Structure 1
Amino acid sequence: MSSTGCLRLLPALLCLAQLAACSVLPTLVPDMAHNPPPVALDGSNGPLSAARSKAILERLQASGAPTHIFDLHLAIEESISGSPLLTGNRVDLLQDGPNTYQAMLAAIDAARDHINLESYIFDGDEVGQRFAQALIARQRAGVQVNLIHDSVGTLGTPQAFFKELSEAGVQIVEFNPVNPLTAKAGWEMNQRDHRKLLIVDGRIAFLGGVNISSVYSGSSLRLGSQADPEQGLPWRDTHLRLEGPVVGELQKLFIITWAKQRGPPLLARHYFPPTEPRGKEVVRAIGSSPDDPYSLIYVTLISALRSAQSEIWLTNAYFVPDPQLLATLKEAVARGVDVRLVLPSSTDSWLVFHAGRAYYDELLQAGVRLYERHDALLHVKTAVIDGVWSTVGSTNLDWRSFLHNQEVNAVVLGSDFGEKMRAAFRADLAQSREITLATWQERAYQVRAQELFARLWEYWL
């Protein structure tokens, strides 16, 4: 497709986004009373009920061919409308800040046509300067660089930092500016762009939980190493490097956000080059936005959880479950699924930390196994279900991610990648302490008071 043709896709992409808002599904807006009316999400675009999941499995079994757990999750995923499931992708798992930055900077340095970068945090520190200088170097070499940064996420970044990028020719969009006078697309203070997405030449993409900040300078993979007292605990996070047809879907998400925020016209580049198979992974790119009637990431996760047969292993930095997610996890345990969560023991968000802990008692009584990692600041947002359904992205398991933020995740189907995810989960588990019901019920009354206070704010956290 020509560059001009790609740019002509902008109105069509925006039209698709508007059509999504016409869905018959109700908006997912829980209230603070924790007793919202049941939300009927068993429509063609909603998460599948246990009955629909069972019907799909029975249909697969009726075909006469042996039915494996992969067949079930593939059928479930295909039943959810939205972005397509795409084959022929290569997916590399990145589990450390320094390793992730090395891979990202290598891709940037090799760029020949364009670089699209979307990041919640882009600090002006040592790591931020490394990225800025790499982007400026490619811009001066004729590679067009387009940058979206969230206004709240970059509040601490000096304006001179972005001015230097802009003066070099980098096109910049500040997502939902804190100052309403500078907003070009309406103003909603509570809506934030929490995505971490890098696309190079329309052929390579990175996504996950890693922001651009020196907090990731210390390695979280050197298990047992002592934290630098000046740096504090090393940050533990997960990112993906992707090649193949799925990169085009991620490119669409970037372009739609750019257009909605009324960024300057994108200069003609080969944003959608011809795609070729780069691997064997089956991947779906999923974006969510508070402008949508519901979060497709939430819908997809709930469907996968309801369909789990043996394992649900979740690792998440900010865990404040809404009533439906809480019930789904408890129901999974009741039907014999091994449900485990690795969560942080310390955090950069006091309120979120204690709001999530307020649910420990209920989860432990239901049989969910909870672990807290102690030797690193956990910032991971991943899940692996039955060893064949995996997701990595920017989405936390809290109300903010599902209701107020722009997020992006990739779902990867297959046992090969699933085993890598299971290995990563077990590695985190080895560095974590299990929270038992007996010990948790002995916690101090001061801790209980903190949980009650934090839970009052969970909708807005």
Structure 2
Amino acid sequence: MDPSGIFTWIQAQFPGWVAITLLVIDAIVRIVALGTVGYRRKPTAALGWLILIFMIPFVGIILFLFLGSPNLPQRRREKQHEINERVKSATGHRAIIGASDHLPLPLSTAAQLNYELGALPMVHGNSFELVSDSVDCIEQMTREVRGAKRFVHFEFYIVTLDDTTRQLFDALIDAHRRGVEVRILIDHLGSLGYPGYRSLVKLLDSSGLLWRRSMPIRPWRGEYQRLDLRNHRKILVVDGDVAFTGSQNIIHPSYNKASNLRRGLLWKDLMVRCTGPVVDELDAVFASDWYSETDDPLLGEIDEDLDIPEEATGVLAQVVPSGPGFEQENNLQLFTHLIYNANREIVISSPYFVPDPALLTALKTESQSGVDVRLYVGATNDHWIAGKAQESYYDELVEAGVRIFQYHSPTVLHAKFILVDDEVTVIGSSNMDERSFSINHEVSLFIVDEEFTQRMYALEREDFRSSSVPLDTAAWAERSLLRRYAENVCRLGSALL
């Protein structure tokens, strides 16, 4: 509605002085928004907010005040900075620990970039096992917890009690009873609303073990931050010896919802079982989140565990934390750096592919330069708006030569990884969207190893490629105008999803 239309409507509804006051407020809201919404914000996100504020000024500005700031509360940011400095001190202020002469320049600079952004160094001496079956992964985690002797650190986004996960929580409670220090972090709004969450809360409360809601929204208890800031990380660390991380939540693969069961939906994830120094780095990420929620920094553990010896054997890897506790978008900067330095091929799997302009440009540039770029997305998406926003990018990706593969229904593709050339893998919790880049706390593993990366390519061929259908570009070009309209509307709001 243009200003003259608003003025006419207000005049018809209210006395003259009220109408003028409301019109002045409306104009002030719009003018102030123009000069403030874009401050240190991506143009895409600023545009989304401005469209909302200009269409429905009063509702839009209220939503912006509650959801518009991507920053954590000041105290949380201070805690993250404190942990970062402690980690850098414990690791001797080195971006790479151990021999690095063999690293190509683009990869050594990537390690330096990640260190500057996330404080954790690249380290040798690691080994990794892929776990692609969700139920099997929970069983493996349960076995590790049953053997725990010192501590278990558990941090996941969606966590519920059901027939699949009960064994893991029984093992955690048993470990607590035999004297193991068990600490549990569960994202509050991420888990709230899923069947089995309330039962889990009752079980954990009655068990006596240490657990906290991550990023809680309980203002009546003084717990509040921006509503849509979430802790999306997935980490399990046992005794500092073994860790699991990746894309999987702690819930049955159907996510226990009746609508999913009716449709036969099952989530497909990818986890990594880790040993070596990266276990301590993952534990440092857990420690920073535990500190944010409890004021217990676990600093003694960080100082001891991150005293990493120099090695020249084993897999070279680096943990990359990202999220609103950091000054920049750590994961996005790593992704674009690696993509721009690709020479032959790039493979991406992401359930929510809604790239920002920098990532989109990088992929198109590499594809048009002759690099084989393959993108795996789900044919089925559990978020309609995000799915339509994702589809709005297909035309320009295909025109640039990117090959898009849709993982078959009713499986919901949830695995998140990037492969670059022969020896680079990035795998973790991060999607390829604005939410994962700037709003969610995420964690990724940056692995430089030809043997592991070839295992990932084998998984791509034997599972992802065989279970996917290439996007039919001819049929896609003939989709209806109504569908295109929906895609474009969802794309405009994608930065706010």
TM-score interval for Structure 1 and Structure 2 normalised by the shorter chain: 0.7 to 0.9
Task: Report what 2:282 is aligned to.
Answer: 250
Matched, 1:459 2:495: yes
> Residue 443 of structure 1 is aligned with which of 464, 479, 482?
479
Q: Is the Cα–Cα contact under 8 Å of residues 209 and 380 in structure 1 kept in the other structure?
A: yes
Q: 2:444 aligns with which of 398, 403, 409?
A: 409
The 2-side partners of 1:380 and 1:81 are apart by: 22
Q: What residue identity is the alignment partner of 2:495?
A: Y
2:240 to 182, 185, 202: 202
Contact 2:287 2:297 in 1 (8 A): no
Work out the CA distance in 1 between the residues paired with 2:187 and 2:473: 40
Larger radius of gyration: 2
Matches within 5 A, 1:319-358: 319-358=353-392
Tell me the C-alpha RMSD between the 2 structures.
2.8
Shift of 1:137: 0.9
Contact preservation (8 Å) 1:373, 1:432 = yes
Name the CA distance, whole Å, in 1 between partners of 2:475 and 2:263.
Answer: 31
Alpha carbons of structure 1 residues 267 and 172: separation in structure 2 relative to 1, 3 Å: farther
Q: Distance in 2 between matches of 1:354 and 1:434?
A: 18
Q: CA deviation at 1:33?
A: 6.3
1:373 correspondence with 2:412: no
User: Alpha-carbon deviation of 1:201?
Assistant: 0.6
Higher relative contact order (CA 8 A, sep 6+): 1
Shift of 1:181: 2.6
Percent of residue pairs identical: 31
**1:155 paired to 2:188:** no
Q: In structure 2, what is the equivalent of residue 235 of structure 1?
A: 267
2:14 matched to which residue of 1?
A: none
Q: Greater CA deviation, 440-449 or 280-289? A: 440-449
Partner of residue 128 from structure 1, selected from 157, 165, 170: 165
Q: What is residue 131 of structure 2 aligned with on the other side?
A: 94
CA distance in 2, matches of 1:318, 1:204: 29
- What code does the residue aligned with 2:274 have? L
- Find out whether 1:31 has 2:44 as its counterpart: yes
What letter corresponds to residue 42 of structure 2 in structure 1? V
Alpha-carbon shift at residue 257 of structure 1 (Å): 1.0
Give the alignment's TM-score, normalised by structure 2: 0.74
- Is 1:421 the equivalent of 2:456? yes
Post-superposition offset of 1:326: 0.5
Structure 1: where are the runs of 5+ without partners?
A: 1-25, 36-66, 219-227
Whole-Å separation in 2 of the counterparts to 1:399 and 1:438: 29
| Cα distance per residue 1:228-283 (max 9 Å; x no partner) | 96571332111111111111111111111111223567698799457677971101
In the aligned structure 1, how far is the partner of 2:274 from the partner of 2:312? 9
Please tell me whether residue 78 in structure 1 is matched to residue 111 in structure 2: yes
Q: CA deviation digits over 1:51-83, x for unaligned, max 9?
A: xxxxxxxxxxxxxxxx99x62443332342412
Is 1:301 matched with 2:338? Answer: no
- Structure 1 CA distance, aligned partners of 2:321 and 2:46? 28
Higher helix share: 2
- C-alpha deviation, 1:167, in angstroms: 3.0
TM superposition score normalised by structure 1: 0.79
Q: Is the 8 A contact 1:302 1:328 kept in 2?
A: yes
**CA separation of 1:211 and 1:231: change in aligned 2, threshold 3 A:** farther
**Partner residue in 2 for 1:103:** 140
Asked if the contact 2:185–2:211 (Cα under 8 Å) also holds between the matched residues in 1, the reply is yes
User: Offset at 1:189?
Assistant: 1.0
The question of 1:171 aligning with 2:210 is answered yes
Alpha-carbon distance between aligned partners in 1 of 2:353 and 2:458, rounded to the nearest angstrom = 22
- Alignment correspondent of 2:17: none
Tell me, yes or no, if structure 1 residue 139 matches structure 2 residue 176: yes
Q: What letter is aligned with 2:464?
A: D
The whole-number CA distance in structure 2 between the counterparts of 1:121 and 1:278 is 38
Cα deviation for residue 213 of structure 1 reads: 0.5
Contact 1:202 1:270 in 2 (8 A): no
Aligned length: 395
Q: Which moved more, 1:263-272 or 1:187-196?
A: 263-272
Is the 8 Å Cα contact of residues 246 and 283 (structure 1) preserved in structure 2? yes
Matches of 1:90 and 1:113, distance apart in 2: 22
Q: Secondary structure at the match of 2:425?
A: strand
Q: What pairs with 1:49-88 in structure 2 (closer than 5 Å)?
A: 71-82=104-115, 83-88=120-125
**Residue number in structure 2 paired with 1:113:** 150
Instruction: Return the alpha-carbon distance in structure 2 between the equivalents of residues 253 and 100 of structure 1.
Output: 21
Q: In the alignment, residue 172 of structure 1 is paired with which amino acid?
A: W
Separation of aligned partners in 2, 1:269 and 1:34: 44
**Counterparts of 2:215 and 2:302 in 1: how far apart (Å)?**
27
Per the TM alignment, residue 115 of structure 1 is displaced from its structure 2 partner at its CA by 0.5
1:447 Cα offset (Å): 2.1
Query: 1:392 aligns to what?
Result: 427
